Amino acid sequence: MSDINRTSWDFLADTYWYVTYPDLPALQFSASDNLLNWKVDQTVWHISGYKNGYFWGVSSAIIVDAGESSSGPRASPQQRSMVGTVTANGQVQISFIRGGGLRESIVTGFGHMSKLDQQWVFQMQMATSGGGEETLHWANMLETKRGDPNWNNLPGVNCSVPSMLEGASYPQVG
């Protein structure tokens, strides 16, 4: 791997990523009643910038009960700013931040870049807590582009990449 360095991931700038159909299931644990519930988690990232092993952009997720019908619109997307690192050997760490201050709400994801059918994927794991519930999810995040079939019809939700990201507030380099 000596030919991989910090610039090996330059292609990440201005890319879009989504959860593929087989990786939509997420598991939610409710501490109040000690129950596990299956969820559907479609997450879209727009990595707006990359430099020197660091990247940033916006994450937008819709998480709903697994039994809900996908025929109509689902819950509103929950958007977060994202800042992350990718090492020369492809290890990834991402912080997903909601709210004006860093202490308001941070979710951290860990994973690595790997090849799946000759395409780079983010293979990620995350856990988020709120309201007495813990949601766990791991997924392969695949790149999508305008013109791809999934661009206008994301798996598991009745919406497009642009509608998931509508109104997003992007981090700016100072």
The pLDDT tens digits of the residues spanning 75-114 come to: 789 999 999 999 989 999 999 998 765 556 788 999 999 9
Q: What is the pTM of this model?
A: 0.90
159 vs 52, 74, 112, 165, CA distance in Å?
Answer: 33, 8, 27, 10
**Class in CATH terms, 6-165:** mainly beta
* pLDDT > 90? residue 170: yes
| pLDDT confidence tier of residue 6, bands split at 50, 70 and 90 | low
Q: How many Å apart are CA 85 and CA 119, to the nearest integer?
A: 20
Task: Indicate the SS3 state at residue 163.
Answer: helix
pLDDT top residue among 151 and 73: 151
Beta bridge partners of 12: none
* pLDDT > 50? residue 70: yes
Q: Which residues contact 4 (CB under 8 A, 6 or more apart)?
A: 88, 89, 90
Q: What is the pLDDT of residue 19?
A: 97
Q: Which residues contact 44 (CB under 8 A, 6 or more apart)?
A: 16, 17, 18, 59, 60, 61, 77, 154, 161, 164, 165
* pLDDT > 50? residue 1: no
Angle at 94 between CA 14 and CA 57, to 5 degrees: 30
Nearest of 22, 54, 16 to residue 41 by alpha carbon: 22
